[in-house]
Structure 1
Amino acid sequence: MPTLTKPSFRQLLLLAFVLTAVLLSATSLRALSTLQRVATQARTLSDAAVRQTEAVERLNERTQLFERSLRQYLVLDDASFLMRARQSNQDAADAVRWLRTHAGSEPALIAALQDWAQIGGMVEAGLARDAIHDQRRQAVLFEHIARLRSLNEQIAQESRHELDRRNSALLDALDHERQTIAIMVAVAVGIAALIALALAGWLARPLAKIESAIHRLGEGRLDTPIAIRRGPADLRRLGVQLDWLRQRLAELDAEKTRFVSHVSHELKTPLASLREGVALLEDEVPGVLNTGQREVVDILASNVAALQRQIEDLLRYHSMQFSARALVRTPLDLTALIGSVIEAQRLHWLAQSLTVALDGEAPVYRGDADRLGAVIGNLLSNAIRFSPKGGRIRFVLAYRDATTMIDCIDQGPGVAEADAERIFQPFVQGERQPGGARRGSGLGLSIVNEYLAAHGGDIALLPSAQGAHFRIELPDETTETT
């Protein structure tokens, strides 16, 4: 049975968009259809109300005209008035028939219209010439006319009631549709939210794994395989690519370690022979040295020692890159830590007749004592190396805006402007070297920068009128950027 291919993130996003669009479109179409239907019903009701009102007014008008024409005929005995009366009665009957057809289903209105039609028929029958001049029949006829006037008022009132009932029914239907649309909108929004939550939940776990894997790669922890088994296809492919990158980085690190180990072995073996040979010469084992030979041996000894220190710095920098971020944080009294580093290098700065001072204070900081000690030690060692005899070196502690600041200020030649931007890069040595001093390996400040970066901190070279002014900034753990 073939395995089903899981959709990619783009496909899922498109599917979620389509589903949401369909839901919202269906709700919008339903709302539009409802509005159109209600608008049509409102127009129909309005037209019916106008025509019904006109029919009721015409019925009342024709009834009045009928009564007036009949009375004029009885007074003037003019046949044209009788004809007008009959025509008015016929028009009124037509209005009643129209109302009976279109006025709706209100029982009281239907009953009143039926009564009017019945009495109107009696009135029509009583308009015969031989019956209209009879006094008794005239009285009955006018009683019917009075009854018609009363029915006209009843028909007008019941017609208004019928129109109010239709209007209320329309408003009820509109309210029902409004509630239906509100429910549809709520359901659509709920389904869209569920789709978004389901998509976010499905993506959260693989994204968290990818973030954790990238964090491990950044810390140099390359021994844990990266496997994204759930989630969209493109995220699983990204997991495969990250695992390939992990393996490649592991291979490069292994090659780098082998290379450094090989180079250090190849260098240390002849270097040890050189050091032993120079030591034999210094001890005059081959024979007594004259003054010139002694100078040559001193030069050889100095350079062999310098070469050994540079090789050791290189190896130390190599190992530092693997351990810089493996911090062991403990509460530190930075005043005591800096004081211990100053005391450890006392012989060095006393030999140069230097004064080293520590000012200010800062709260307890959680950091790695060994690495922060190495940072202060490197800065102090550089300051001692570059300071003139009798000079002064100052460390200043301060705390501001949840950040601990450590300033190191000396009175040496300072850093040349051309070196300021690259002084923290590996193997970079400044132009202003102290006269007669051994040139360093250029790794001290780069190690300082790496250790501080591991703490989430930073070091900067500040402008200074004399000497070098370095500032360390160590944010509290809660303010570090994750």
Structure 2
Amino acid sequence: MRLSLPTSIFQLALIGFLLATLPLSIALVNTFVQIDRLSAQMQLAVSDSAQAVEASRTIMAQVLNMERSTGQYLVLRDPAVLQRYEDQRGQLGKAIVLLESLPSGESLLDRLSQLREQEQVLYDKLREVVGTPEPQVQDEPPRLAEQHNLTRLVRPIPFEVAQMVAQRSDVITRQMEQMQGLLLLQALGLIPLALILAVVFSVLISRPLRRLGAAIHRLGAGEFSTPVKVSGPQDVRELSEHLDWLRKRLSELDEQKQTFLHHVSHELKTPLTAIREGTELLCDEVVGTLNPEQTEVAIILRESGLQLQAQVEALLNFNAALAQEKPQQQEIIMLDTLLPEIIDKHRLAMRARKITVQTDLQAVSLCGEHDQIRTLLDN
């Protein structure tokens, strides 16, 4: 099955966010599982320890009671005492079964097995005493006590239970240390992985956007020769295609503008040259002598023709300056020096229109391209 690529920046960002948070989510879930498992083990250990301590206490108490009941029965032959012994025996058996069901050491299990066997032998002999005449069993209490000393057998049980609880505590402690080490390794592995994924998808998202920005900057700078082709999600590719279409349109418009300007300059220069030649002939009085008024008009026509030619050339130069890829040389321009030159250039035209210009200029300077500033002020 072929995986489909993201079709938009939004989908790419969403996938990146999900993949970047996936390791952290895995770490969080694993931490929760480990802590829950350790908590369950600790609860089980506490419960087992409490049951083991209680069972050991029950065994100690019931063994003492059973030995006491044994002596009383052999002396009194009271059936109620025998019944009490059997009840105590039943509680002892339950405590032994409970303690054997808990995680215990081999020594404790062997001791419980010996206790069960010794108690069973003692109980069997008590059952034999039931049918024996009383004079024959007068020496039975001390002899049974010597042969079946259950108290001596169960005396180490509390210590062994305490040792078992300590071992369980050590196991839990080791498991906690192992879990801490595992979580530390998990953090050292998954957190850098999440950061790497975040950086990778940040680059995948920002790189096509930077390329689009560079393409737009080139279009703004008038560079129409480089095609706009940006790879990435579908919406980025579509925007790249639109920008390339815009580049082609701007290139066509720029070519049309250049063609138009060249055509206009050619169309203007032809009649302008004829006008200048005619005014020069008038000024040189080739066609006849001119009176002062006619001479002044001829001079005005000649100056106007020169001014018109200068404006056409300035327009072409200004358009060429805009089309240049490199900025022109910047210099310090003194306006108080440049303005009088421009005003003097228009002196005849202003006199013909009866315009008087008074200048009261201060020393002002600016940084720029000299010809462009001159053209701007001249217009």
TM above 0.5, one fold?
Answer: yes
CA shift for structure 1 position 93: 3.1
Structure-1 residue corresponding to 2:349: none
Structure-2 residue corresponding to 1:393: 363
Provide the C-alpha distance between the structure 2 equivalents of 1:5 and 1:89, rounded to a whole number of angstroms.
76
Does 1:381 pair with 2:338? Answer: yes
SS, match of residue 139 in structure 1: helix
* Contact 2:229/2:240 (8 A) holds in 1: yes
* Contact 1:103/1:162 (8 A) holds in 2: no
* Contact 1:93/1:120 (8 A) holds in 2: no
Does 1:99 pair with 2:99? Answer: yes
CA shift for structure 1 position 187: 4.8
* Contact 2:56/2:95 (8 A) holds in 1: yes
Match for residue 141 of structure 1 among 135, 140, 144: 144
Q: For residues 379 and 257 of structure 1, do their structure 2 counterparts lie closer, same or farther at Cα, with a shift above 3 Å needed?
A: farther
Structure-1 residue corresponding to 2:115: 116
* Contact 1:378/1:444 (8 A) holds in 2: no
Provide the C-alpha distance between the structure 1 equivalents of 2:246 and 2:178, rounded to a whole number of angstroms.
61
- Which is further off, 5-14 or 277-286? 5-14
Matched residues, number? 357
Identity of aligned residues (%): 29
Does 1:238 pair with 2:239? Answer: yes
Aligned residue identity for 2:293: G
* Contact 2:334/2:364 (8 A) holds in 1: no
Match for residue 371 of structure 1 among 305, 319, 329: 329
Q: For residues 99 and 121 of structure 1, do their structure 2 counterparts lie closer, same or farther at Cα, with a shift above 3 Å needed?
A: same
Deviation digits for residues 431-473 of structure 1, max 9, x if unmatched?
xxxxxxxxx864689xxxxxxxxxxxxxxxxxxxxxxxxxxxx
Q: For residues 83 and 52 of structure 1, do their structure 2 counterparts lie closer, same or farther at Cα, with a shift above 3 Å needed?
A: same
Q: For residues 383 and 5 of structure 1, do their structure 2 counterparts lie closer, same or farther at Cα, with a shift above 3 Å needed?
A: farther
Structure-2 residue corresponding to 1:151: 153
Does 1:45 pair with 2:65? Answer: no
For 1:50-199, what aligned pairs fall within 5 Å after superposition? Answer: 50-69=50-69, 80-81=80-81, 83-100=83-100, 102-127=101-126, 128=129, 134=137, 136-143=139-146, 147-177=149-179, 179-180=181-182, 183=185, 187-189=189-191, 191-193=193-195, 195-196=197-198, 199=201
Provide the C-alpha distance between the structure 2 equivalents of 1:4 and 1:88, rounded to a whole number of angstroms.
74
* Contact 2:334/2:363 (8 A) holds in 1: no
CA shift for structure 1 position 156: 1.6
Aligned residue identity for 2:338: S
CA shift for structure 1 position 9: 4.5
CA shift for structure 1 position 253: 0.9
* Contact 2:218/2:224 (8 A) holds in 1: yes
CA shift for structure 1 position 199: 4.4
CA shift for structure 1 position 175: 4.6
**TM-score for both structures, normalised by structure 2:** 0.74
Q: For residues 381 and 99 of structure 1, do their structure 2 counterparts lie closer, same or farther at Cα, with a shift above 3 Å needed?
A: same
- Which is further off, 130-139 or 54-63? 130-139
Q: For residues 216 and 304 of structure 1, do their structure 2 counterparts lie closer, same or farther at Cα, with a shift above 3 Å needed?
A: same
Deviation digits for residues 81-139 of structure 1, max 9, x if unmatched?
55544533442233123222x22241011011112112222333454465898565423
CA shift for structure 1 position 247: 1.5
Q: Which ranges of structure 2 fall in alignment gaps of 5 or more residues?
A: 344-356
Aligned residue identity for 1:104: P
SS, match of residue 326 in structure 2: coil
SS, match of residue 393 in structure 1: coil
Structure having the larger proportion of residues in strand:
1
Structure-1 residue corresponding to 2:223: 221
Q: For residues 157 and 4 of structure 1, do their structure 2 counterparts lie closer, same or farther at Cα, with a shift above 3 Å needed?
A: closer
Provide the C-alpha distance between the structure 1 equivalents of 2:158 and 2:136, rounded to a whole number of angstroms.
32
CA shift for structure 1 position 154: 1.8
SS, match of residue 277 in structure 2: helix
Aligned residue identity for 1:308: Q
Provide the C-alpha distance between the structure 1 equivalents of 2:82 and 2:113, rounded to a whole number of angstroms.
25
SS, match of residue 156 in structure 2: helix
SS, match of residue 224 in structure 1: coil
SS, match of residue 286 in structure 1: coil
Deviation digits for residues 216-275 of structure 1, max 9, x if unmatched?
3333232233344x5444433333333222221111111111111122222222222222
SS, match of residue 222 in structure 1: coil
CA shift for structure 1 position 30: 3.6
Q: For residues 9 and 150 of structure 1, do their structure 2 counterparts lie closer, same or farther at Cα, with a shift above 3 Å needed?
A: farther
What is the Cα-based RMSD across aligned positions, in Å?
Answer: 4.2
**TM-score for both structures, normalised by structure 1:** 0.60
Structure-1 residue corresponding to 2:260: 259
Q: Which ranges of structure 1 fall in alignment gaps of 5 or more residues?
A: 328-369, 396-405, 409-426, 430-439, 446-482
Q: For residues 443 and 48 of structure 1, do their structure 2 counterparts lie closer, same or farther at Cα, with a shift above 3 Å needed?
A: farther
Q: For residues 221 and 17 of structure 1, do their structure 2 counterparts lie closer, same or farther at Cα, with a shift above 3 Å needed?
A: same
Structure number with the bigger relative contact order (C-alpha 8 A, sep ≥ 6) is 2
CA shift for structure 1 position 57: 1.7
Structure-2 residue corresponding to 1:465: none
Deviation digits for residues 170-214 of structure 1, max 9, x if unmatched?
444455455555555555445545545554666677556545444
